[in-house]
């Protein structure tokens, strides 16, 4: 290996290694050339370290090479670690320099100020933009959320599954999926692992989770939609009610909230982003039936939504504010959604069939989770399908899952990018996706 340590590791051990030889490899972040002395700030994934080249103290050919450096050159610098009045408290007094790569033309983005460029420019040159620590921090948090998801559900007896992303029909209606040519047939990119996670429960795994891509063919123009994103999915067998599902969802968010203030790196990033830790009250996030939510919106905010209709995004924002003010909670479950706005596999309320055991979770006023109890009874499922006006033949393979013993079950799907966005207060969900796919963008 050319590089054997990260800058952070050098700095952590710096106290004891003052005066010894170190090698720092990374990108040239900044150059401050004072003529006789040249400061080169090297950046890697873990931090910054300043190297100093002093004319007269380094060999002439090394100084000459140092004069050729430009921002974003990839370098390895060998030198002596010394205490210095820099932000890191140390610097490397350079002795040797190797330049592994030079930019071949002026940079389209400056890494240290990439955030001041427009988002579309940043995405066009995302591999440069992402070198900015404030940008990569988003992806460290995203990676952390995914890891917590795995850890939490694994610890609760869930099994990780991996389901097909090339499917024969859309999950709900087939209207919002991408067709793909599959040999001589048309297949579709999965818009959710919904059917297959239910399959896994029925196949006897009982509790399953998956982290996988989902594809939505809707031509949105908003700051909260992507045509490809990662879904955190769970499905749980042998539940009493959809409250069991909400308990498991809430358990995960509580884990995020607690660990984000316990773990230094995440805590520091959230402070950098100037955002409060996630707040969930001791007694749990409020669970508000949507019919109650209509009343709250009307009484507290004068906003009318016809009963039986879905909440609009303004309504969600207001309910987010309400939960924050009334319950001190960043999370609020809205429950018992109307049958009209839920997919056919949702279990309807026994006594009120126009309402369901479906819920959403709003995080700081944005929908980040959808879930509910599923209909596991074959005959009722068939009827639901018919009530939605869907064709039996299109879902026959799915209905068969329910013919030979299916436990009562439910689950939820969570948007990884939306959770990341809300945790960090990002203005656009595209910022939480390294290479977003949206209506216009399929490169890079």
Site for RNA in 313-352 (CB under 7 A): 313-314, 316, 341
Query: DSSP label at 37?
Result: E
In the bound state with RNA, the residue whose beta carbon lies nearer, of 221 and 403, is 221
Question: Between 353 and 392, how does the x/- string for binding to RNA read (CB under 7 A)?
Answer: -------x------xxxx----------------------
What sign for the dihedral angle of Cα 94, 98, 103, 109?
Answer: negative
- Max Cα-Cα span within the chain: 88
Phi and psi of 105, rounded to 5°?
A: -155, 165
Q: Does 132 bind RNA (CB under 7 A)?
A: no
| Binding residues with RNA: total (CB under 7 A) | 72
Tell me how far CA of residue 277 lies from CA of 259, 387, 415, 428, in angstroms. Answer: 10, 44, 19, 19
Identify the sign of the CA torsion 287, 292, 293, 299: negative
Q: What SS3 class is residue 403? A: coil
Q: Footprint of RNA on residues 296-315 (CB under 7 A)?
A: 310, 312-314
Least CB distance to RNA at residue 184 (A): 28
In the complex with RNA, the residue whose CB is nearer, 5 or 84, is 84
- Please give the Cα distance from 54 to 34 (Å, whole number): 10
Measure CA 347 to chain center: 29
Is the C-alpha dihedral spanning 392, 397, 402, 406 positive or negative?
Answer: negative
- According to CB under 7 A, which one of 45, 87, 268, 377 is a site residue for RNA? 87
Q: Minimum Å distance from CB 67 to RNA?
A: 8
| Sole binder of RNA in the list 47, 80, 99, 110 (CB under 7 A) | 110
Q: Does 119 bind RNA (CB under 7 A)?
A: yes
Nearest to 378 by CA among 344, 403, 345: 403
Among 132, 163, 192, 346, binds RNA (CB under 7 A): 192
Q: How far is the CB of 150 from RNA (least distance, A)?
A: 18
Which CB, 33 or 352, lies closer to RNA?
A: 33
| R_g of the chain, CA atoms, integer Å | 27
Query: Distance between CA atoms of 235 and 157, rounded to whole angstroms?
Result: 12
CB of 86 to RNA, least distance (A): 5
Binding to RNA, residues 134-153 (CB under 7 A): none
Interstrand relation of 228-237 and 166-167 (parallel, antiparallel or unpaired) = unpaired
Span of 12-20, 323-331, 377-385, 422-430 interacting with RNA by CB under 7 A: 422-430
- Considering the complex, state which of residue 274 and residue 427 has its C-beta at the smaller distance from RNA: 427
- Between the two ends of the chain, the Cα-to-Cα distance in Å is 29
Nearest to 191 by CA among 343, 402, 365: 343
Q: Which is nearer to RNA, 3 or 83 (CB)?
A: 83
**Contacts of RNA in 389-418 (CB under 7 A):** 413-415, 417-418
Binders of RNA among residues 222 to 281 (CB under 7 A) are: 222-227, 229, 231
Region 30-49 residues binding RNA, contact defined as CB under 7 A: 30, 32-37, 39
Among 1, 2, 56, 299, binds RNA (CB under 7 A): 56
């Amino acid at each position: 290996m050319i590089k054997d340590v990260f800058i952070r590791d050098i700095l952590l051990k710096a106290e004891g290694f003052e005066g010894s030889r170190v090698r720092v490899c990374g990108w040239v972040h900044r150059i401050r050339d004072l003529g006789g002395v040249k400061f080169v700030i090297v950046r890697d994934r873990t931090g910054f370290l300043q190297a100093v080249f002093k004319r007269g103290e380094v060999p002439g050919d090394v100084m000459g090479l140092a004069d050729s450096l430009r921002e974003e050159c990839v370098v390895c610098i060998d030198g002596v670690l010394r205490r210095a009045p820099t932000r890191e408290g140390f610097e490397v007094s350079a002795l040797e320099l190797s330049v592994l790569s030079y930019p071949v033309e002026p940079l389209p983005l400056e890494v240290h100020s990439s955030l001041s460029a427009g988002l579309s420019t940043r995405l066009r040159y995302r591999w440069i933009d992402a070198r900015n620590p404030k940008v990569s921090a988003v992806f460290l948090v995203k990676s952390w959320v995914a890891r917590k998801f795995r850890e939490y559900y694994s610890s609760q007896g869930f099994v990780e599954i991996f389901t097909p992303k090339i499917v024969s029909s859309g999950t709900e209606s087939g209207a919002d999926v991408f067709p793909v040519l599959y040999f001589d047939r048309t297949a579709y990119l999965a818009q959710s692992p919904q059917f297959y996670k239910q399959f896994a429960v029925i196949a006897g795994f009982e509790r399953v989770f998956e982290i996988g891509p989902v594809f939505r063919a809707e031509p949105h123009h908003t700051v909260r939609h992507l045509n490809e994103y990662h879904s955190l999915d769970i499905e749980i067998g042998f539940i009493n009610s959809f409250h069991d599902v909400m308990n498991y969802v809430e358990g995960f968010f509580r884990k995020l909230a607690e660990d984000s203030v316990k773990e230094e790196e995440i805590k520091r990033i959230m402070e950098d982003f100037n955002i409060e830790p996630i707040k969930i009250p001791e007694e749990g996030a409020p669970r508000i039936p949507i019919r109650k939510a209509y009343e709250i919106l009307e009484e507290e905010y004068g906003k009318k939504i016809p009963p039986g209709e879905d909440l609009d995004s303004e309504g969600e924002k207001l309910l987010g504010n309400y939960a924050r003010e009334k319950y001190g909670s960043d999370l609020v479950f809205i429950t018992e959604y109307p049958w009209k706005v839920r997919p056919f596999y949702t279990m309807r309320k026994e006594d009120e069939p126009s309402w369901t055991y479906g819920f959403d979770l709003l995080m700081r006023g944005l929908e980040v989770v959808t879930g509910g109890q599923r209909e596991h009874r074959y005959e009722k499922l068939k009827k639901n399908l018919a009530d939605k006006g869907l064709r039996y033949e299109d879902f026959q393979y799915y209905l068969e899952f329910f013919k030979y013993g299916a436990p009562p079950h439910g689950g939820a799907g969570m948007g990884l990018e939306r959770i990341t966005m809300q945790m960090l207060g990002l203005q656009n969900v595209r910022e939480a996706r390294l290479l977003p796919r949206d209506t216009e963008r399929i490169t890079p």
